[in-house]
Amino acid sequence: MFARTKLSAFPCLRLRRAVSLWQFRVLAPHCKEVLVAPHCQPVRKRALQFVLAIGIVSLFADMTYEGARGIAGQFLQTLGATATVVGFVAGFGELAGYGLRSVFGYLADKTHRYWVFIFVGYIINLLAVPALALAGNWPLAAALLIAERTGKAIRRPPVHAMLSHAGSQIGAGWAFGLHEALDQIGATLGPLITALILYLHGGYPKAFAALLISALLSLATLVIARIFYPRPHELEAREPAGLQAKGFSKSYWLYAVAGMCIAAGFADFSLVAYHFQKADVVPQSLIPVFYSAAMVTGAITPLFFGKLFDKQSRDREEASRGASQGGLFIVLVAFLLSALFAPFVFLGGFGLALAGMILWGLGMGAQDSLLRALLSGVIPSDKRSTAFGVFDTVFGIAWFAGSAAMGLLYDRSIPALVIFSVALQLTALPFFVLARRSEPRP
């Protein structure tokens, strides 16, 4: 009774209650859209926190398996493996790691058990590394190395799909750029840790065993991310009607062709390091330093390019779709610069080789940030895991074929290798433009 008297005495309070009731009745059916509205600061904050959480998971994960990959070849040799075996294990592991992503990406979308695939993938991916400390023969070590690559194939597509949902709130360029930066920090620290252990005469088993710490930290952070962000798909902003078609769009396949051109023309560091040592361009002791310089560049540039990708878009919706001319301009500049690494690395002296490695690192950072940002704008949200998996598969096959071709060209003509590398990467640029023009309009 007192409440009624108070409301009748103050008409403004009655008006506020009427407005509140109207908001509840009218907006409740659309509460999901209200909760994930792009301008909603709490949702954007949660999206950023989710990207940071997954980025920290990746930081510790990369610290683990990149630390192992830096010494895996030498370790297999100490167990009696031949050069042929080492090459086969590395090549087959990468082929499996890329080739299976389309399968597991499709299964994740089909079952909607994204977190299950992520946890299974990370457990296999990470725990296979410290298990190498117990490997007493090369066949067992080879199986564990291939298992590590397979684990990455299982978890990578759903992880990228979840990041794309967060990217619809904070900008796809920034989401993938921030994640890639944290990823590269781990990739830089891992080899340094194992190198320090070997320098202190710890031996290969102790180096692998030490990586159990970063593996457990990664899994613990993943558990925390699952607890606090159980449904990342709810971060997705409402997508344009043009993306609600079956299958993948023409722009998606054009982006895939562009990615294949970049992958086929991008020389693997193993070939670069081989050239540095054979041509005596860089002292053997400084080759890891050159690689570290590339990794640092790969950690910094995604942040820079990701922000520009989003900032130069006409509005935040187009930034999340990668559909603006500004976003396209940044992509073209990034891959134009990275395409120039080959002449610096393979034809230059010490100083030019260092500059070439910086461009090489720039390209590595752009591949895992800008390409994903572009793709997330042309894929329906319920097919992202499949689409990222298919893209990674064709990208990996092209990388494998291009690496083999450049290896053959190196033995015959280094200038021919440089022309092959630059030409293929530059071929990707018009495909980016064509894909941009074929994107569906809002």
Query: If pLDDT is split at 50, 70 and 90, which confidence band does 304 have?
Result: confident
Q: Which of 94, 43, 58 is nearest to 214 (CA)?
A: 58
Q: Per DSSP, which regions of 201-250 are E strands?
A: none
Same fold, 40-228 and 246-442: yes
171 Rama sector, left if φ>0, alpha if ψ -120 to 50, beta otherwise = left
Largest CA distance in the chain: 96
Return the CATH number of the domain spanning residue range 40-228.
1.20.1250.20
- Quote the Cα angle for 216-221-222, to 5°: 95
Architecture of domain 246-442: Up-down Bundle (1.20)
* Structure token digits, residue 56: 């920290």
Q: How far apart are CA 417 and CA 347, in angstroms?
A: 10
Condensed to tens digits (0 to 9), the pLDDT of residues 132-146 reads: 999 989 999 999 999
Helices (runs of H) and strands (runs of E) counted in the chain: 19, 0
The predicted pLDDT at position 201 comes to: 77
Q: Does residue 184 have a pLDDT over 70?
A: yes
Q: Please, where are the H alpha helices in 312-349?
A: 316-321, 325-338, 341-347
Query: What b/e readout covers 19-57, taking b as 16+ CB neighbours within 10 angstroms?
Result: eeeeeeeeeeeeeeeeebebeeeebbebbbebbebbbbb
Lowest mean pLDDT among 110-114, 310-314, 401-405: 310-314
Condensed to tens digits (0 to 9), the pLDDT of residues 340-376 reads: 999 999 998 899 999 999 999 999 888 888 888 888 8
**What pTM was estimated for this model as a whole?**
0.80
Q: Where are the domains of the chain?
A: 40-228, 246-442
* Structure token digits, residue 26: 């009218």
Instruction: Say how many Å lie between the first and final Cα of the chain, rounded.
Output: 53
